[in-house]
Amino acid sequence: MGQVSINENVMDLTPDGPRLKGMRCKECNNHVFPMQSGCPKCTSDNVEEVQLGNKGTLWAWTIQGFPPKAPPYLGEANPEKFKAYGVGYIELPGQLKVESRLTISDPTQLKSGMMMEIVGEAIGEDENGNELVTFAFAPTD
Amino acid sequence: MSDDVAIVGIGIHPFGRHEGVSGMEQGAIAIRKACEDAGISWNDLQFAFGGSVAAGSPDHMVSQMGLTGLQFINVVNGCATGGSALISTFNTIKSGAYDLGVAVGFDKHERGAFRVQTGKQGERDWYGGSGMALTTQFFGMKINKYMEDYGITQSSLAKVASKAFRNGSKNENAWRRQAFGEEEVLQSQMLSYPLTQYMFCSPGEGGVALVLARADKAHQYTDKPIFLKSAVVRSRKYGSFEVLAPSLALDYADGPTVDASKAAFEAAGIGPEDIDIAQLQDTESGAEIMHMAENGFCEHGEQEKMLADGETEITGRLPVNTDGGCLANGEPVGASGLRQVYENVLQLRGQAGKRQVPDSPKVAYTHVYGAPGISGVTILSA
Ligand SMILES: [Zn+2]
């Protein structure tokens, strides 16, 4: 029983925390997350898988105030126990803006442009009792 | 542009929740009413386009409407499903293939926010599983950023919702017919900051049908034909900020609404200043505000003053969502875009009753936006 990635095709769980796997287009340097087989910017299929950056700035955000439907949600969906969480887009320099959970759920503590970095967040359990970990972004300071 | 295609009959099944009535039955009822309005029978229709996302294949309704052998084509196109059925009907008549047809849209969704499952087969759905993949989050993020960028306040969000319910209270086919003040809207549960419960529409049920005919034959069916000047659907381009996107490009581009709007105005040969009444996608109240600018009716940020001055009220300079919009009617995806056209036809005919826009409006506009980044626009004239 340990911690496992919510999906190894999109995220590796390293000793330094989660690392996202994206697509880079070798023709135009466009990035997309998660990996896909063609580039929506230039239409080329000459693409490779790359690790995305782990730090960036907050571009847009909201607070998820009600429990998402389960399925598909793997976290706490019981309205009595549900805790609100932030969701936002973080701009990763030179790559893309990635949508992510945020560790902050208080609107007064979120501001566009703030520096954030990726961290792991336990979301549920798999069929073997391992803790499933997804990614979230947290303020750097 | 010539008047090629006219709307000669309209029918609606009330929006809301209808226990024991299937989505398809609601579509069939709408068709019967539209045929009655046009003074025709199902037998007379040469073709049909039907749209539904969650309530079955529309063409199956021929077994209850009548097995006349007509050409019946199903359309599924995200939130522009109803609008796409209308465009297909419009183009079929314009092409000369047929003279008389019907566009029908209906739906019946489960309660609560749309359930979106995105995983590849055999893989864990990490996106929905992690608590993203909610359309409500996109709308919260987009308006939150927009308010920051253009100085729109939460009070404006409440004004839009309050107007929707006030207009809905004058619409016998609306789901929510109770007027709410701004304060009640602001005090309702915060669902996706800065948007509260009463600022969001809900998935619902309903059906709408529109009978279209060649314009030069329209007077056989009605003494008040309404001409469809343009009908356009556009998908998203690289760099636009769309619903259900795990990543966005660093570059920023306008969304499909801007493209659809420009194309529709160009095809109709008119501009935003010529529009007397508009039905704009209001999945939540911020969407109506952003769509006012994206469709060319004002500059970004001007909405704050327009709302304060009541310019989008039924009695204002540019009435918006006169039937209560999605906020008061709910959003049965297959029917939603057609409901907007239904309302505009009523308004242009002067048959909108308690919510009739004064001074005989002549030109009317509809706009839908939704998953997966698609927009549809129509322009009608009396
Ligand atoms: Zn490329």
For B231-248, give the secondary structure using H, E and C: EEEEECCCCCCCCCCCEE
Q: Is the pLDDT of residue B34 over 50?
A: yes
> What are the pLDDT digits (tens) for B182-210?
999 999 999 999 999 999 998 999 999 99
Chain A residue numbers touching B189 (CB-CB < 8 A):
65-66
State how many domains chain A has: 1
User: Is A52:A31 a contact under the CB 8 Å cutoff?
Assistant: yes
**What pLDDT does residue B1 have?**
44
In a domain, B141, yes or no: no
Cβ distance A72 to B191 less than 8 Å, yes or no, reads no
Chain B residue numbers touching A101 (CB-CB < 8 A):
130-132
In a domain, B91, yes or no: yes
The arithmetic mean of pLDDT across residues B9-15, rounded, is: 98
In a domain, B34, yes or no: yes
The arithmetic mean of pLDDT across residues B256-268, rounded, is: 97
**What pLDDT does residue A92 have?**
98
> What are the pLDDT digits (tens) for B126-180?
999 999 999 999 999 999 999 999 999 999 999 999 999 999 999 999 999 999 9
Cβ distance A71 to B123 less than 8 Å, yes or no, reads no
Q: Is the pLDDT of residue B2 over 60?
A: no
From the list A72, A100, A135, which residue is nearest B133 (CB)? A72
Separation of A46 CA from ligand 1 center, angstroms? 8
The arithmetic mean of pLDDT across residues B31-46, rounded, is: 98
pTM of the predicted model as reported, rounded to 2 decimal places: 0.94
In a domain, B117, yes or no: no
Residue B175, min C-alpha distance to chain A (Å): 23
CATH number at B21 reads: 3.40.47.10
Chain B residue numbers touching A6 (CB-CB < 8 A):
124, 126, 129-130
Separation of B141 CA from ligand 1 center, angstroms? 27
Query: Tokens at residue A71, please?
Result: 């399925």
Distance of CA B313 to the CA centre of its chain: 18
C-alpha span between A95 and A30 (Å, rounded) = 7
Q: Which residues of B touch A (CB under 8 A)?
A: 112-113, 115-119, 123-134, 137, 140-142, 144-145, 148, 189-195, 238, 241, 245-250
> What are the pLDDT digits (tens) for B250-261?
999 999 999 999
pLDDT band at B119 (very low <50, low <70, confident <90, very high): low
A contact residues 21-80, partner B, Cβ 8 Å cutoff: 22, 30-34, 40-41, 59-66, 68-69, 71-75
Chain B residue numbers touching A72 (CB-CB < 8 A):
115-119, 125, 127-129, 133
Q: Is the pLDDT of residue B96 over 50?
A: yes
B77 or B147, greater pLDDT: B147
pLDDT band at B227 (very low <50, low <70, confident <90, very high): very high
Cβ distance B123 to A72 less than 8 Å, yes or no, reads no
The arithmetic mean of pLDDT across residues B82-96, rounded, is: 95
In a domain, B172, yes or no: no
Separation of A31 CA from ligand 1 center, angstroms? 8
Which residues form the domain of A25?
Answer: 3-139
Residue B198, min C-alpha distance to chain A (Å): 14
Cβ distance A68 to B131 less than 8 Å, yes or no, reads yes
In a domain, B44, yes or no: yes
Cβ distance B145 to A71 less than 8 Å, yes or no, reads no
> What are the pLDDT digits (tens) for A75-108?
999 999 999 999 999 999 999 999 999 999 999 9
CB pairs under 8 A between A and B: 130
> What are the pLDDT digits (tens) for B331-363?
999 999 999 999 999 999 999 999 999 999 999
Residue in chain A lying closest to B117 (CA): A72
Which residues form the domain of B108?
Answer: 5-112+200-381
The arithmetic mean of pLDDT across residues A102-128, rounded, is: 96
Separation of A96 CA from ligand 1 center, angstroms? 13
Separation of A32 CA from ligand 1 center, angstroms? 10
Helices (H), chain B: 23-38, 62-65, 81-94, 126-129, 135-150, 154-168, 182-187, 256-268, 285-294, 303-308, 325-329, 333-349
Q: Is the pLDDT of residue A30 over 50?
A: yes
C-alpha span between B114 and B121 (Å, rounded) = 20
**What pLDDT does residue A28 have?**
97
C-alpha span between B3 and B216 (Å, rounded) = 8
Q: Is the pLDDT of residue A20 over 80?
A: yes
In a domain, B135, yes or no: no
**What pLDDT does residue B261 have?**
98
**What pLDDT does residue B114 have?**
72
State how many domains chain B has: 1
In percent, the amount of chain B with pLDDT more than 90 equals 92
